[in-house]
Structure 1
């Protein structure tokens, strides 16, 4: 059951060709613990530019390679991230950005979110998040045990992003029938405990930046709560677009929180 759900989660949350089908989708939407598990996978793949030289140096006859220049690693991080996850969640962020820019009733904002054209609010939201990710990654530490600090923060930010989605799925209320309602209406609030528990393995890896990883993960319930509160008041509840926006916003805030924690602690 869990393996089927995990396959469905990877199929839904990423562009990785793992199949899944109807059975995987049904198992996934009833098993929200798969959200943070996929976060580990996506985070590791997105962090490859930070540890690829160290990994290649382990091969026979390959000399010790220096780390990639930070600006190159950051571009690689962004390319790897969106190559793995696609733009579905960013599209949700754009729709929510358009709704945020609208003044009026809930119905008016929902209509704007359903519009296939992206407005100024949505464009600005996506640009700010992507630029914010790049600027946050500029502060990623690469000293310590090789690339471990940067990898830990990148993975923690991705686990936090997926955990925020899972919390909204467990505790949110769907405003209407649709993709979001198939997730939100399928589980109960008690799933919050196992979802949060699955972030603990990140702290079992020895080395630096443990406090930075913790700071990144603590962001998840805060951003999820804020997004859920705003969405309930302004667009009627937690839709698929709200889930996607929560993923993008939590990743951004968690990455910066991890960098700040590493800098000061």
Structure 2
């Protein structure tokens, strides 16, 4: 029991900005329970969702969307976004695989990384704002709309973390490092544990609000996005590293929010039967 609690503590220290001291022992215990990625996503989603609920009640949609993004990165940090930036530099570099990997590992931010991060932040803002707009059409009260926003934050953060597990579970490391440790630790049983937990929470989150399997569809979409990103990484770099895993988090979050927006739009257009 003590080792499990140590793993839980270390998982928050590794995947969030919550001030938790991580020891080497704790890091090893966490890697033995890599499925905790999804659990951390659930808890972070609850925290972010709570703030999003309050913002929905107090602020106009555009200001609320900006504040939600601020809260997301306050609690999750910028490590994963940095991974997206590094991968963007590598993908836009010309030349051999070795040159692309070198560009990805370069500590300087290139135009590719800057562009990828800019697109990601704009996409995140647009998807949150779009969910708010679509929710307004089908919600009879501000509290009901706030609950939908709350559930969306929970599902998107779980999807982001499961995307990281997915790309690690099916990827092969291109070099030693933190990414390689994560990849080697993500065995099929551990991956499946996170998958089952995440799927159940995502189903319940929107089913209780009368949206059927909307949450599950968004969850699956984040997983698919990770597999697509893995294919891109394999073609350009011959494998996967920690930057690719971090990028999967950012892309998985956005994809799940986009899918949630589309599903909510379908409901507001009278297509509820498609979710039963």
Q: Same fold (TM over 0.5)?
A: yes
2:159 is matched with 160
Structure 1 contact 149–209 (Cα < 8 Å) conserved: no
1:240 is matched with 242
Structure 1 contact 171–188 (Cα < 8 Å) conserved: no
Q: Which runs of 5+ in 2 are unaligned?
A: 268-276
| Shift in alpha-carbon separation, 1:240–1:52, aligned structure 2, 3 A | same
| Shift in alpha-carbon separation, 1:146–1:221, aligned structure 2, 3 A | closer
Deviation of 1:13 after TM superposition, in Å, equals 0.8
**What secondary structure sits across from 1:139 in the alignment?**
helix
1:126 equivalent among 114, 117, 120: 117
1:45 equivalent among 21, 44, 47: 47
Q: Which structure: greater helix fraction?
A: 2
Structure 1: distance between partners of 2:163 and 2:22? 23
Structure 2 contact 203–214 (Cα < 8 Å) conserved: no
1:60 is matched with none
**What secondary structure sits across from 1:116 in the alignment?**
coil
2:227 is matched with 225
Structure 2: distance between partners of 1:236 and 1:27? 29
Q: How many residues align?
A: 254
Structure 2: distance between partners of 1:72 and 1:209? 26
1:257 is matched with 259
Structure 2 contact 54–146 (Cα < 8 Å) conserved: no
Deviation of 1:228 after TM superposition, in Å, equals 1.2
2:6 is matched with 4
Structure 1: distance between partners of 2:239 and 2:103? 15
2:191 is matched with 192
Q: Deviations over 1:123-172 (max 9, x none)?
A: 00000000011011112226362411111112111101100111222222
Structure 2: distance between partners of 1:10 and 1:186? 17
Structure 1: distance between partners of 2:114 and 2:38? 28
Alignment of 1:11-50 (within 5 A): 11-50=13-52
TM value normalised by structure 1: 0.90
Moved over 4 A (4+): none
Structure 2: distance between partners of 1:50 and 1:87? 19
Q: Deviations over 1:21-68 (max 9, x none)?
A: 2222111112121011111122222223332269xxxxxxxxxxx442
Alignment of 1:170-181 (within 5 A): 170-181=169-180
